[in-house]
Amino acid sequence: MRSRKISLEESIEALARETGASPSFVDKVRALFLGRGVDLEDSAEPYADALAEAFRRHARMRTRLDEARDTLVRLHANIAELGSAFSSQLERLRAIREALERSGAARRRAEASGRTITIEALHLSPGDTDKNEVPGPSEIQ
């Protein structure tokens, strides 16, 4: 008893189910064979390895594309979060600037009225007040 040959159409359908290929990809594969004058009822044996590889590659590309989309979604979320953080910092900096401008205006008014407060800064050089002592026993060891 001879085994029945699997047709191109059956092979394409089986690979599409196995890999979850999109209908548009399956249609393109069929069109490729029909465009070359190969009947879809012919035996799939001469094309089996190439068909399987094409469907595997298509599945890998879809997986990578899905991963890229997920990464892009996360990237957009991170950018939105970063923009929100920058906006918050900008608001804080503007508030600080306004407070400094108000205090500068108050200082200028005080200087204009003759009531100035002078604060002298004490300049210390390294070593001016340092002590070279090492904590430990006072006796020689």
Measured over the CA atoms of residue 60, residue 65, residue 71 and residue 74, the dihedral's sign is negative
Q: Give the pLDDT band (50/70/90) at residue 1.
A: very low
Give the integer Cα–Cα distance in Å for 100 and 94.
10
Q: Which residues contact 38 (CB under 8 A, 6 or more apart)?
A: 8
| DSSP E strand boundaries for 14-128 | none
Give the integer Cα–Cα distance in Å for 12 and 18.
10
Please check whether residue 40 is in contact with residue 30, taking contact to mean a CB–CB distance below 8 angstroms. Answer: yes
pTM: 0.56
List pLDDT tens digits, range 44-85.
999 999 999 999 999 999 999 999 999 999 999 999 999 999
Q: Which of the pair, 102 or 72, is modelled with greater confidence? A: 72
- Secondary structure class of 138 (helix, strand, coil): coil
- Secondary structure class of 7 (helix, strand, coil): strand
- Show the tokens assigned to 29: 């594969």
- Secondary structure class of 43 (helix, strand, coil): strand
